[in-house]
Chain A
Amino acid sequence: MRFFESEEELQEKLKDFITAHKSQMGLVSLEAPLISNLPVWSNIALIRQYHQNMSWHEAKATVDGLLHRMGMASIAEKRNPALTKEERFCAMLLRAAMVQDAVVVLDKPFGILTNLRDGHFLMHILHKVDDLIAEAHIFDYSWAKERYGVTADAED
């Protein structure tokens, strides 16, 4: 987890981090929304279809399996505006996890999950996909530390 005092500092560090991990970057952020004219499954499958030329049948089966694992099989055909905050976050996380050896970055996740008070859902959902991702990093403001249950100043 990386916490920052100001928006400028956070954006600068995030930009540097994205540049340093460009080929493995799996960003979950309000700045990287789901593609609105694609259903959820297609948003997630797109990464492997494009980078690994995975056939759409195979990609669809993979995504269906992952959505089932998350307990969200029903959102496969939904589009972005029809999703709840949790569903949208899961879809964005799965899309990020589709990147090969993904370095997943959660950019101010409570900006997406505005209805949550703490990070339990976040950690729970991250554990469900930990076999798919190489690293996970959270970028957020210092004042949000408590929501993650972090008290020390040191970065984790």
Chain B
Amino acid sequence: MISAIEQIGRFTLNTSSSVGGTLLFAARVFLRMFERRSYNSASIMVFINQIYFTSVQILPLFLFVAVIFGAMVNGMVFQLIKKIGQTDYLGRLLMGFVVTEISPFVTVLLVALRSSSAINAEIAVMKVNHELSTLEIFNIDLIDYLFVPRVLNGILSMVLLSSLFSLVVLSIGLFVSSVIFGTAADAYIDTLLRSASLLDMIILWFKCAAFGFFITLIPIMLGMNASQELTSIPVAVLNGMVKVFSAIIIIEVLSSIVRFI
């Protein structure tokens, strides 16, 4: 019994220490994002490269998934709406469910699978190879040069890719609605605009930004925790990805609470 209580206590302490450490690190990086000295020719170059790796290289896969997913979701939504005869809810369903819930979620999964794991491994390898200490020897601040560009890229990429995903899904919706209901394009767009709520959009952008922030910050932090041994790299990546997915779930739940309660 005492052993069980000790284990619960240890787990609680470890979890709260881990969450506290993450939030503290998040606060440091977040504040540094607003400092002028974080932006120089070197960090801007890193930012541009990161945007290319995260938002441009992913496009073929991303568009393919968006088209397949859009066709599937729209097909189901329109068939359902047609069956139950509630066409008034079409816009609300597309804007409230597909745009504000599905698009950011699928986007964050794709970006996390591709970029978070890459960032995690990259930082861990740099740590093992003494490249991080090299930067410090040359008085290059790791937060300014490595972390801020990656985190900014995460935020921007998430907002842009999620918007692109929504655009593709809604465009497919336009096609499906004209085939199933024979709806004109302007009527379809009008339905969507009438169903769009500013609050939902603000929550959506904040959610995308939070996703982008944490799915880049956590891999950086866990990559930094690697030791000087090569065997610590897979462990760092594994721990990082588990925490990234925990963060995704927490942000999703928090955004739903804000939106619906």
Contact = CB atoms under 8 A, between A and B. Distances in A.
Task: Decide whether A and B assemble into one complex.
Answer: yes
Interface of A: 18, 22-23, 25-27, 31-33, 35-37, 42, 46-47, 49-51, 53-56, 59, 95, 99
Interface of B: 40-43, 45, 122, 125-126, 129-131, 133-135, 137-140, 144-145
Contact of A31 (B40, B43, B133): B133
14 contacts: A18-B137, A22-B139, A25-B137, A31-B130, A31-B134, A32-B138, A35-B126, A42-B45, A50-B41, A50-B140, A55-B41, A59-B41, A95-B138, A99-B138
A27 to B, nearest CB: 5
Contacts, number: 57
Nearest to B141: A50
Given A50-B43, A53-B40, 16 more contacts: A18-B137, A22-B139, A25-B137, A25-B138, A27-B137, A31-B130, A32-B133, A32-B138, A33-B129, A36-B129, A37-B122, A42-B45, A46-B42, A49-B41, A50-B42, A50-B145
A59 B40 CA distance: 13
Q: Which 9 A-B pairs have the closest CB atoms?
A: A49-B42, A49-B41, A50-B42, A32-B134, A53-B40, A35-B131, A27-B137, A53-B41, A50-B140
A99 B144 CA distance: 18
A47 B122 CA distance: 20
A18 B40 CA distance: 25
B125 A36 contact: yes
Contacts of B40: 49-50, 53
A36 B122 CA distance: 10
Nearest to A99: B138
B137 A56 contact: no
A51 B40 CA distance: 8
A125 B47 CA distance: 34
B125 to A, nearest CB: 7
A53 to B, nearest CB: 5
B137 A32 contact: yes
Contacts of A26: 138
Given A54-B41, A56-B45, A32 B129 contact: no
Contacts of B137: 18, 25, 27, 32
A42 B140 CA distance: 14
Contact of A36 (B45, B131, B145): B131
Contacts of A35: 126, 131, 134-135
A81 to B, nearest CB: 11
Contacts of B131: 33, 35-36
Contacts of A18: 137
Contacts of B135: 35
Contacts of B126: 35-36
B111 to A, nearest CB: 20
Given A46-B42, A59-B41, A51 B139 contact: yes
Contacts of A53: 40-41
B250 to A, nearest CB: 31
